[in-house]
């Protein structure tokens, strides 16, 4: 298992749809791609109807013809299984393959992704076409890898078809063994929900609370089940392709909800590709967030999340122009410089391969406004001009491939809490709030960070490389994970935890123990009282060694215990003066429990108090610039429409221009530097 892409050098690609265009255009398209430095094309992910025009009749002649030309033009190919868009005949003849809403209303043919992930019939069709394709196409040398399906869980991430209910039962039977065990773990004694037969169990259909809402523990299992189904669905394809793939990579593109990508990689997918569309920040239905909004820079958050799965990855779809569907999504055009900026944003965060979506804007269908590098007219335009600059950039820093992003701060995240928090308004929204606060603070202070997937398999080594770990609201915290964190601290690590920690078990139940459960001894603290801050109430603050920091949204009122020491105290509400921040030294390290959520200003205070520094102290950047580090090279990305002044306290080289620079230096609007 590699789990990271392996490119020899930074590489450019593009998504291409020969089936959308007259054959007469193909050769010119491929040759122009090469002029712009494009070496790889992605093909065929939506072409099932073309390859299996009627049930059981496979016809690969179209792709044979095209691949022959691609080979001739020395174009490398990522080939796709087309299972994201079943043909009309399939959906019409086998309605059991269709996804459904919570009332059982089927999702019919007409858009894409109308299928479910569990229908034996659909899996059979997927298996067959994948097998036929693998056997047929793996003979093509130009194919360097496979993408399975497309954006699984994008169009829908809940499934309520008949086969889903059945598969859910099987999943629970496997997981709990007996109904007695299930009833106990799911707390069904509450509201008389006890199951006495497996057939009484369903996914969360319509209840008196609407559709998709049920017993909270069942709800958590439902998300686990969806992820399980998606992993199984892709693993099936992976195993078939693998048989004949040789050393070709197998990937899929994401990242979407309700899918454990770590499990997916353990099940046969080599690494993950990300689809990066930062221009959503400039969509017409997005109100202007003003200075406080990081806009397109927020996609660095997503890229960090991707990196937690595959440290080095590819961008399968990199925004090439304004995005849009005909009936929703309408984005302003990327401004001159943004296409290049966003490409380099991807590279800065660990992408070794960047494939634009798409070569030319489609003339028909739902995505007539999802603009490619070329316009409908195929005439030169400023996006192609900008692509030339990207080509030069890639050439200049091509050797960065293989060098991972480097960070000394890790934000712990895990699927248990993420999934439980989807519906649980008592901790899920807190997590989003606080993660955003840390992200903003770290961004503006130019401190690179990683997201760290905290899993059963995570070991001390995975954590030790970080100077600081932040685990904002670990509501579900197992004994095992608490122990690893204790070791991390004992070995010298710094750990920060927030309110609402440790009060749930892995089924989302709240055991009879004092809060914060398994974190109590680790952080030296007990929670004595707690409250949301009601709307209209003044902000709550914590006085931490004389500094006043915000403690928004929710407060745990603390009491030191197990050797903890109260260092911060509430100011404002009825618990005025009570402990709000408790620290505990264990071994060489330090754990802090903070009885609130983390606003940006709160995170600022922690970074300062814990002396967490930027890795480039010789570089003075304004807030509008992002700093990233791969190997020994520093990326500076200016997200602003205005140029900005930076200060370099030593002489360095900008590898993109080859210039040696020092002292004050002006970075262009949307400008990028790679410093060594």
Sign of CA dihedral 300, 305, 310, 311: positive
Interacting residues with its own copies between 236 and 275 (CB under 8 A): none
The mark string for 349-368 relative to its own copies (x by CB under 8 A, - otherwise) is ------------xxxxxxxx
Residue 457 or 537 with smaller CB distance to its own copies: 537
- Is 624 a residue that touches its own copies (CB under 8 A)? no
Among 287, 546, 617, 658, binds its own copies (CB under 8 A): 287
Among 174, 178, 292, 379, binds its own copies (CB under 8 A): 379
- Is 426 a residue that touches its own copies (CB under 8 A)? yes
- Is 134 a residue that touches its own copies (CB under 8 A)? no
Cα dist from 381 to 318, 360, 369, 374, 615, whole Å: 18, 12, 16, 7, 39
Tokens encoding 193: 């929900």
Residue 71 or 362 with smaller CB distance to its own copies: 362
User: Cβ of residue 71: shortest distance to its own copies, in angstroms?
Assistant: 23
d(Cα 289, Cα 303) in Å, to the nearest integer?
21
Cα 561 to chain center, whole Å? 37
Among 5, 40, 66, 87, binds its own copies (CB under 8 A): 87
Interacting residues with its own copies between 589 and 608 (CB under 8 A): none
- Is 336 a residue that touches its own copies (CB under 8 A)? yes
Residue 103 or 247 with smaller CB distance to its own copies: 103
Half-sphere exposure of 73 (CA within 13 A, CB side): 23
- Per-residue H/E/C for 358-405: CCECCCCCCCCCCCCCECCCCCCCHHHHHHHHHHHHHHHCHHHCCCCE
Q: Which stretch binds its own copies (CB under 8 A): 64-72, 332-340, 442-450, 627-635?
A: 332-340
- Is 284 a residue that touches its own copies (CB under 8 A)? yes
Tokens encoding 325: 């569907």
Interacting residues with its own copies between 512 and 531 (CB under 8 A): 512-515, 528-531
Say if strands 449-453 and 494-497 run parallel, antiparallel, or are unpaired: unpaired
Do 42 and 316 meet the contact criterion of CB atoms below 8 Å apart? yes
Q: Which stretch binds its own copies (CB under 8 A): 192-200, 243-251, 474-482, 584-592?
A: 192-200
Longest pairwise C-alpha distance within the chain: 77
- Is 24 a residue that touches its own copies (CB under 8 A)? no
Give me the residues paired with residue 452 across strands.
412
Among 2, 23, 27, 286, binds its own copies (CB under 8 A): 286
- Is 13 a residue that touches its own copies (CB under 8 A)? no
Q: Residue 181: phi, psi to the nearest 5?
A: -65, -45
- Is 56 a residue that touches its own copies (CB under 8 A)? no
DSSP string computed for 522-534: HHTEEEEEEEE--
> Could you tell me which residues come within 8 angstroms of residue 75 by beta carbon, excluding any fewer than 6 positions away?
30, 33, 34, 39, 40, 41, 142
What DSSP state is assigned to residue 248? -
Residue 109 or 132 with smaller CB distance to its own copies: 109
- Is 71 a residue that touches its own copies (CB under 8 A)? no
Among residues 45, 52, 151, 521, which one is catalytic?
151
- Is 214 a residue that touches its own copies (CB under 8 A)? yes
Residue 448 or 524 with smaller CB distance to its own copies: 524
Q: Which stretch binds its own copies (CB under 8 A): 4-12, 372-380, 449-457, 621-629?
A: 372-380
Q: Which stretch binds its own copies (CB under 8 A): 29-37, 129-137, 216-224, 586-594?
A: 216-224
Say if strands 565-571 and 541-544 run parallel, antiparallel, or are unpaired: antiparallel
User: Cβ of residue 663: shortest distance to its own copies, in angstroms?
Assistant: 29
- Is 97 a residue that touches its own copies (CB under 8 A)? no
- Is 668 a residue that touches its own copies (CB under 8 A)? no
Among 213, 460, 566, 661, binds its own copies (CB under 8 A): 213
Residue 513 or 647 with smaller CB distance to its own copies: 513
317 counts as catalytic = yes
Residue 203 or 612 with smaller CB distance to its own copies: 203
First to last CA, the chain: 32
Among 197, 292, 479, 577, binds its own copies (CB under 8 A): 197
Count the helices and strands in the chain (H runs, E runs). 18, 25
H/E stretch holding 549: strand 547-550
- With CB under 8 A, what is the number of residues at the site for its own copies? 121
Tokens encoding 62: 């179209």
Nearest to 222 by CA among 504, 412, 423: 423
d(Cα 301, Cα 381) in Å, to the nearest integer?
31
Cα 675 to chain center, whole Å? 27
- Is 175 a residue that touches its own copies (CB under 8 A)? no
d(Cα 265, Cα 469) in Å, to the nearest integer?
24
Among 13, 37, 82, 550, binds its own copies (CB under 8 A): 82
- Per-residue H/E/C for 159-208: CCCHHHHHHHHHHHHHHHCCHHHHHHHCCCCHHHCCCCCHHHCCCCCCEC
What DSSP state is assigned to residue 414? -
d(Cα 32, Cα 515) in Å, to the nearest integer?
63
Interacting residues with its own copies between 464 and 493 (CB under 8 A): none
- Is 455 a residue that touches its own copies (CB under 8 A)? no
Q: Is 302 annotated as a binding residue?
A: no
- Is 638 a residue that touches its own copies (CB under 8 A)? no
- Is 377 a residue that touches its own copies (CB under 8 A)? yes
User: Cβ of residue 157: shortest distance to its own copies, in angstroms?
Assistant: 11
CA angle 42, 44, 47 (to 5 degrees): 160
Cα dist from 539 to 535, 592, 602, whole Å: 10, 22, 12
User: Cβ of residue 326: shortest distance to its own copies, in angstroms?
Assistant: 4
Q: Is 112 annotated as a binding residue?
A: yes
The mark string for 549-588 relative to its own copies (x by CB under 8 A, - otherwise) is -------------------------x--------------
Backbone torsion region of residue 217, taken as left when φ is above 0, otherwise alpha when ψ lies between -120 and 50, otherwise beta: alpha
User: Cβ of residue 481: shortest distance to its own copies, in angstroms?
Assistant: 20
Q: Which stretch binds its own copies (CB under 8 A): 124-132, 183-191, 264-272, 387-395?
A: 183-191
Among 74, 200, 659, 664, binds its own copies (CB under 8 A): 200
User: Cβ of residue 570: shortest distance to its own copies, in angstroms?
Assistant: 14
Among residues 45, 221, 317, 386, which one is catalytic?
317
Describe the crossing of helices 216-245 and 415-423 by its angle, rounded to 10 degrees: 130
d(Cα 361, Cα 51) in Å, to the nearest integer?
23
Interacting residues with its own copies between 138 and 167 (CB under 8 A): 155-156
Binding site, by residue number, is: 112, 150
Residue numbers annotated as active site: 151, 317
Binding site for substrate, by residue number, is: 112, 150
């Amino acid at each position: 298992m590699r789990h990271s892409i392996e490119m020899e050098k930074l590489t450019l690609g593009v998504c291409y749809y020969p089936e959308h265009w007259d054959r007469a255009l193909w050769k010119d398209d491929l040759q122009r791609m090469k002029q712009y430095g494009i070496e790889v094309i992605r093909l065929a992910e939506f072409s099932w109807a073309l390859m299996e025009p009627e049930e059981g009749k496979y016809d690969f002649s179209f792709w044979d013809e095209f691949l022959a030309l691609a080979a001739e033009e020395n174009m490398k190919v990522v080939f796709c299984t087309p299972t994201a868009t079943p043909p009309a005949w399939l959906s019409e003849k086998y309605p059991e393959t269709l996804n459904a809403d919570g009332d059982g209303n089927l999702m019919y043919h007409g858009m894409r992704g109308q299928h479910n992930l569990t229908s034996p019939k659909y899996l059979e069709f997927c298996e067959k076409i994948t097998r036929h394709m693998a056997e047929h196409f793996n003979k093509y040398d130009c194919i360097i890898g496979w993408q399975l399906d497309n954006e699984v869980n994008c169009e829908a991430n809940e499934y309520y078809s008949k086969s889903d209910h059945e598969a859910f039962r099987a999943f629970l039977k496997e997981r709990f063994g007996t109904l007695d065990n299930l009833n106990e773990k799911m707390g069904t004694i509450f509201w008389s929900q006890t199951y006495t037969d497996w057939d009484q169990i369903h996914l969360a259909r319509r209840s008196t609370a609407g559709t998709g809402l049920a017993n909270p523990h069942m709800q958590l299992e439902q998300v686990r089940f969806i992820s399980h189904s998606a992993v199984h669905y892709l693993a099936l394809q992976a195993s078939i392709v693998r048989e004949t793939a040789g050393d070709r990579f197998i990937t899929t593109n994401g990242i979407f909800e309700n899918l454990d990508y770590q499990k997916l990689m353990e099940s046969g997918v080599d690494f993950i590709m990300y689809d990066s569309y930062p221009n959503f920040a400039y969509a017409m239905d997005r109100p202007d967030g003003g200075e406080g909004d990081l806009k397109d820079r927020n996609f660095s958050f997503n890229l960090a999340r991707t990196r937690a799965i595959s440290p080095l990855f590819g961008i399968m779809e990199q925004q090439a122009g304004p995005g849009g569907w005909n009936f929703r999504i309408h984005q302003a055009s990327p401004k001159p410089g943004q296409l290049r900026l966003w490409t380099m944003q991807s590279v800065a965060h660990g992408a070794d391969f960047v494939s634009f979506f798409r070569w030319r804007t489609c003339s028909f269908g739902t995505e007539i406004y999802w603009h490619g590098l070329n316009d409908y007219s195929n005439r030169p335009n400023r996006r192609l001009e900008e692509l030339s600059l990207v080509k030069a950039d890639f050439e200049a820093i091509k050797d960065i491939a293989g060098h991972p992003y480097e960070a000394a701060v890790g934000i712990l995240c895990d699927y248990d809490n993420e999934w439980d928090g989807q519906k649980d308004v008592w901790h899920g929204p807190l997590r989003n709030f606080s993660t955003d606060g840390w992200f903003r603070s770290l961004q503006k202070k130019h401190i690179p960070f990683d997201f760290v997937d905290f899993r059963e398999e995570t070991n001390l080594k995975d954590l030790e490389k970080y100077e600081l770990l932040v685990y904002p609201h670990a509501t579900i915290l197992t004994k095992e994970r608490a122990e690893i964190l204790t070791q991390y601290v004992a070995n010298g690590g710094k750990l920060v935890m927030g309110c609402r920690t440790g009060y749930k078990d892995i089924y989302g139940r709240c055991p009879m123990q004092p809060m914060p459960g398994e974190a109590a001894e680790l952080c030296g603290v007990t929670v004595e009282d707690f409250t949301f801050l009601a709307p209209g109430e003044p902000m709550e603050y914590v006085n931490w060694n004389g500094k006043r920091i915000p403690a928004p949204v929710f407060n745990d009122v603390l009491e030191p215990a197990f050797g903890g020491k109260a260092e911060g105290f509430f100011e404002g509400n009825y618990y005025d003066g009570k402990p709000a921040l408790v620290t505990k030294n264990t071994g060489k390290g330090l754990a802090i429990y903070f009885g609130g959520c983390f606003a940006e200003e709160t995170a600022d205070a922690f970074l300062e108090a814990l002396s967490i520094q930027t890795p480039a102290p010789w570089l003075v950047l304004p807030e509008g610039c992002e700093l990233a580090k791969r190997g020994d090279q520093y990326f500076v990305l200016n997200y602003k429409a205005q140029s900005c002044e930076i200060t370099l306290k030593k002489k360095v080289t900008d590898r993109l221009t080859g210039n040696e620079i020092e002292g004050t230096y002006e970075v262009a609007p949307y400008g990028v530097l790679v410093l060594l």
